[in-house]
Structure 1
């Protein structure tokens, strides 16, 4: 038997319970992983509430990002070998002591990361890297605005952008969250609760506006950030942690000759595997050079509902991780 978080009714995270389930077994092409740590992501909250783009049929075990050790191989699978540290992502199932995943969906844990940081690394850092480079086409010396700059994807985007030589304007709610972003390398910050986002971005970028905006938040701030782009700028929409999908006037895109692109990591894995592989190599290099994900809280599995609630209510910075070994 294994312990697992379980969602039996859609709604807020406090409806989750921790139960005993039968141990899973890997099928053809699958690997059984003993989970050491699993990170909390905002889509986990949406899945529990049945508000995500792809529904999860009840009952289900939430959790999408994990790190652990290979426990068994299914038929036809030659590796990774039992005992190998791995990290991976699934739509659901990671908040459990064991998870079955396709062998192709696993990655080696980057050298230098422990299990907690490995669980918190790949989804947000791969999202940040590809939003900035593969999709956003950011280059060293350009101004990049990151919305929600102290959150999971936001803090990763500030970290990666700075290490790639971009000049970052962090936008976040409140001075404490901006302090987090500045410690990660942001040159300037905008408190979009108290300051006019468009005006401050233009001031901080010397009056011309940003080359690139990465937006994992959505809501009312998206349009203001788009208005702060310079002519020919790029806007990458990554998610809607605000809970509200923005409606952008297309005349702004026309007048600025701007590019607006969407990014979703699962689609990139499916349609651009070479880009994903190149991104993995680049991120591994940055980890060897000292990059580490910001983990602000670690909870035992018994507190999984509290962990998701904190993320849902945006009370955290960086990543929140559930420790399955605690």
Structure 2
């Protein structure tokens, strides 16, 4: 028996409950982990509210990231031993493989030995943010040394990961955030420049930074009216990669800009990388290399104990955090 977070109906953070559940031994090809820390993601709040791309089956677990110690291994698993420190690559289904629990069981291909010096809190904040940013900027856009990249929702964990990855490549990360409140923190986090979208004209600021040629790569989690000034400041043949939809307003299709500049507007989910074994191997190598050389450093906004999972979700929905929210067990 072990404690796990579950919910029996859709709703706000208050629907989350800590319940005692049975623990099955790991099946063939699986690894069982004693969890020490969880990384929170907006996707989990969406599943809880009933607006995620996956449908909950009540009572439902949730969670995409965890770090801990190998408790047991199933038949046919090699490369792992009980007692080793590991972390979890986000699975394709958090309903099937939920991470919010004292003990979790995952297919071995989703389990990674992270650098032990990271500690469990940092290790629980690795894979979703860095895989998402790597897949967009490196795998899809082919971001190059010396070129600018626009990163919206830059103070989120994925936004900060994108800033770090751009710097590791030698690109120039331009952070877009709603207000100037986080301007200094974003500069300190490695942003070459910062635009406060509610206070400044995005198009004119970008044109001042990159000139009339425009920016080739835009990494956007917001959508909505911001599409117009972003595409207006893009270079011919540029690519805008959309991985979110934070804006509650409709997203216009910038037809004239797309046509005259031959722009690519591309939707993206990190599942593209996770379900492709060859691409995932390259992504892991890049991320582990960045962690080893210090270019990639998870930014922790705040930690909560497991017993305060409801408060952690309330903080997640406050949109005031700078970096990753972590829950410790």
TM-score norm. by structure 2 comes to: 0.93
Q: Tell me the distance in 1 between the aligned counterparts of 2:209 and 2:14.
A: 41
Q: Tell me the distance in 2 between the aligned counterparts of 1:35 and 1:69.
A: 7
Q: Tell me the distance in 2 between the aligned counterparts of 1:245 and 1:125.
A: 28
Q: For residues 119-268 of structure 1, what are the structure 2 equivalents within 5 Å?
A: 119-243=124-248, 246-268=251-273
Check the 8 A contact 1:237/1:263 in 2, yes or no: yes
Q: Tell me the distance in 2 between the aligned counterparts of 1:243 and 1:59.
A: 29
Q: Tell me the distance in 2 between the aligned counterparts of 1:57 and 1:218.
A: 29
Gaps in structure 1 of 5+ consecutive residues: none
SS at match of 2:118: coil
SS at match of 2:134: helix
Q: Which residue, out of 290, 296, 303, partners 2:301? A: 296
Partner of 1:275 in structure 2? 279
Is residue 55 of structure 1 aligned with residue 52 of structure 2? Answer: no
CA shift digits 1:251-271 (9 cap, x unpaired):
422211112222211222223
Q: Tell me the distance in 2 between the aligned counterparts of 1:307 and 1:243.
A: 23
Check the 8 A contact 1:112/1:288 in 2, yes or no: no
Q: Tell me the distance in 1 between the aligned counterparts of 2:205 and 2:157.
A: 23
Q: Tell me the distance in 2 between the aligned counterparts of 1:19 and 1:319.
A: 25
Gaps in structure 2 of 5+ consecutive residues: none
Partner of 1:74 in structure 2? 74
Q: What is the RMSD computed on CA atoms of the aligned residues? A: 1.7
Q: Tell me the distance in 2 between the aligned counterparts of 1:37 and 1:179.
A: 29
How big is the shift at 1:27?
A: 1.7
Q: Tell me the distance in 2 between the aligned counterparts of 1:132 and 1:111.
A: 27
Check the 8 A contact 1:95/1:322 in 2, yes or no: no
Q: Which residue, out of 314, 317, 321, partners 2:322? A: 317
Check the 8 A contact 1:26/1:73 in 2, yes or no: yes
Q: Which residue, out of 293, 302, 312, partners 1:307? A: 312
Check the 8 A contact 1:158/1:181 in 2, yes or no: no
Q: Tell me the distance in 2 between the aligned counterparts of 1:237 and 1:47.
A: 20
Q: How many residues align?
A: 323
SS at match of 1:220: helix
The runs of at least 4 consecutive aligned structure 1 residues that moved more than 4 Å come to none
16-25 or 138-147: bigger deviation: 16-25
Partner of 2:19 in structure 1? 19
Is residue 285 of structure 1 aligned with residue 314 of structure 2? Answer: no
How big is the shift at 1:76?
A: 2.8
212-221 or 239-248: bigger deviation: 239-248
Q: Tell me the distance in 1 between the aligned counterparts of 2:34 and 2:84.
A: 10
Check the 8 A contact 2:114/2:288 in 1, yes or no: no
How big is the shift at 1:11?
A: 1.2
SS at match of 1:112: helix
Q: Tell me the distance in 1 between the aligned counterparts of 2:21 and 2:248.
A: 32
Q: Tell me the distance in 2 between the aligned counterparts of 1:318 and 1:230.
A: 30
Check the 8 A contact 1:201/1:228 in 2, yes or no: yes
SS at match of 1:194: coil
TM-score norm. by structure 1 comes to: 0.94
CA shift digits 1:35-54 (9 cap, x unpaired):
11110011011000110111
CA shift digits 1:10-55 (9 cap, x unpaired):
1112221112222232222211111111100110110001101111
How big is the shift at 1:180?
A: 2.2
